[in-house]
Structure 1
Amino acid sequence: MLKIDKLTKAFGANKAVDSVSLDFDRPMMIGIIGASGAGKSTLLRMLNRLENATSGSITFDGRDVTALHGADKRRWQRDCAMIFQQFNLVPRMDVVSNVLHGTLNRRSTLATMFNLYPSEDIHRAIDILDRLGIAGHAAKRAEALSGGQQQRVAIARAIMQDPQIVLADEPIASLDPMNAQIVMDDLRRIHDEDGRMVIANLHTLDTARRYCDRVVGMRAGRVVFDGTPEQLTTGVARDIYGADASFSEAATSTSIDALNAATSTPVPVA
């Protein structure tokens, strides 16, 4: 279904992504983990064609994504929706209009200029917001919402595109644990209920284990782990992050229980 073959992105002498090969034969929820600078975001940006590959290829259902240009490239970006860490909403615009922006790449220039939307698109946008539990905020400005609510608006905008693949670049990095759980629950439901492939860049091991069917670990631009959540042991995680025996998963956890346990542990007095 999705095949990545020796994909490389070089910035001068530095290879942000270095000969990555991955093969996904069916829609699943995939977590990509690794330290900052491992190449996770660059990989997703190449999948969405926001970045061009230096070499290698991306193939989806037999179509060479890396060779697409113009209208074909824009159609691919509709089929492969992107959710960003910083939401990328229009702050002063109401929520439902932000969601309707998911239809921009299939509307005429005139309709876009005058902000004209068919009634069926408006109803669909509200239905998606309702599915994500935020339809009551449809008329509010996006800037009036909390971070977790804004990220759900961004998810709704992505689903409005009716994509086959949803890419989420650090979707919970700026959220508190409760909102992080809500957003990850939503992404998992989108996979389970819609049958869409979801690929999410994640920093936290507990999140990858809990929500993903498959986990890919990256280090210095290369894939150093590709397996099931059960195979993601603490020892494997140390290798992915280049950490020593002092590495603690609790320090990177988004679990409310884990955070409570970590903060309630007595600190020994020297």
Structure 2
Amino acid sequence: MSLEVEKVTKVFGQNTAVDNVSFAVDRPGFIGIIGRSGAGKSTFLRMINRLTDASMGAIRFEGRNVLELRGSAKRAWQSDCAMIFQQFNLVPRLDVVSNVLHGTLNRHSALTTFFNLYPSADIHRAIDILDRLGIAEQAPKRAEALSGGQQQRVAIARALMQDPRIILADEPIASLDPMNAQVVMDALRRIHEEDGRMVIANLHTLDTARRYCDRVIGMRDGRVVFDGTPDQLTTGAARDIYGADASFSEASTSTSINALDETSRAMMEEAELL
């Protein structure tokens, strides 16, 4: 399984959101992309999935340039390349199973989808996936009744219903508390290891990138400024990625419960001194 990104660029008017990005992946790894807001991370993932067209460059998966795909070939690629979003993108009033079954939309007619007439095999598979993610008991509930962490696991289940080759996750834990963030990241890592699927995740915290990723790519102002292993992601490298000075503190980007507690305690102590 190979992915080659060659000089990919996206221009919006006078703004270059993604600037000449190139890298190659020769196996189904777990790749984290980090950087401050506006670094181009989300735009880049959307170009891989073909939700956004690139201005120039090539993205080749197993030798085929997916940026050139049109019509049914493009839709087939989007099934092979599932997307998980920060805000879950579920249908709040539908039950959990129906939301998961939406991962099969490309395989069924509009009539089947409109009347929720899914094959029993698909329904059983959806429940099996929910069980794998530890939320099978939530299957009959409306999606809006679930916690944020549970909703994100429903979104992961929907992605797995596509049986994708690649899973793209755009800030999958940005809106979650530390406990739910860990559950979601554990699930993504387990899917990568057990299924052999490539996972590319935009992340906003250094501790998460170090803990879960095999490889970390740092973006700043649309460009790749770091590409290495988690061990190579030093505080100095992080300062360069985030464009920060010597006062930069990793605790401010941490999802760790302990780190958050320490940050809160420091803020309280500072307030008491004022």
TM-score by length of 2: 0.97
CA distance in 1, matches of 2:145, 2:37: 30
Residues of 1 paired with 2:171 and 2:51: CA distance?
16
Aligned pair count?
A: 270
CA shift for structure 1 position 108: 1.8
Query: 1:195 corresponds to which residue?
Result: 196
Residues in 1 aligned to 2:261 and 2:221: alpha-carbon distance in whole angstroms: 32
Which one is further off, 106-115 or 117-126? 106-115
- Counterpart for residue 33 of structure 1: 34
Any residues of structure 2 matched to 1:122-137 within 5 Å, and which?
122-137=123-138
1:161-240 superposed matches below 5 A:
161-240=162-241
Identity of aligned residues (%): 76
Q: For the residues of structure 2 that align with 1:176 and 1:129, how far apart are their CA atoms? A: 21
Q: Which residue of 2 aligns with 1:107?
A: 108
What SS does the aligned partner of 1:152 have? helix
Compute the displacement of 1:123 (Å): 0.3
Instruction: Give secondary structure in 1 for the equivalent of 2:174.
Output: coil
After TM superposition, the structure 1 = structure 2 runs for residues 118-157 of structure 1, keeping only pairs within 5 Å, are: 118-157=119-158
Query: After TM superposition, where is structure 1 displaced by more than 6 Å over at least 4 residues in a row?
Result: none
CA drift at 1:264: 3.0
Give the superposed CA RMSD.
Answer: 1.0
2-structure distance, mates of 1:139, 1:114: 17
Q: Which residue of 2 aligns with 1:47?
A: 48
TM-superposed CA distance for 1:112, in Å, is 1.9
User: Deviation digits for residues 134-176 of structure 1, max 9, x if unmatched?
Assistant: 0000000000000000000000000010000000000000000
Which amino acid in 2 is paired with 1:37? G
Q: Which runs of 5+ in 2 are unaligned?
A: none
- One-letter code of the match for 2:118? Y
1:263 matched residue in structure 2: 264
Which consecutive unaligned segments of at least 5 residues does structure 1 have? none
Separation in structure 1 between the aligned mates of residue 23 and residue 107 of structure 2, nearest angstrom: 30
Q: Distance in 2 between matches of 1:258 and 1:113?
A: 47
**Over residues 174-228 of structure 1, what are the superposed CA-to-partner deviations in whole Å (9 max), with x where a residue is unaligned?**
0000000000000000100000000000010000000000000000000000000
- Counterpart residue identity of residue 159, structure 2: A
Q: Does 1:95 align with 2:99?
A: no
> CA separation in 1, counterparts of 2:56 and 2:263?
44
For 1:116, the equivalent position in structure 2 comes to 117
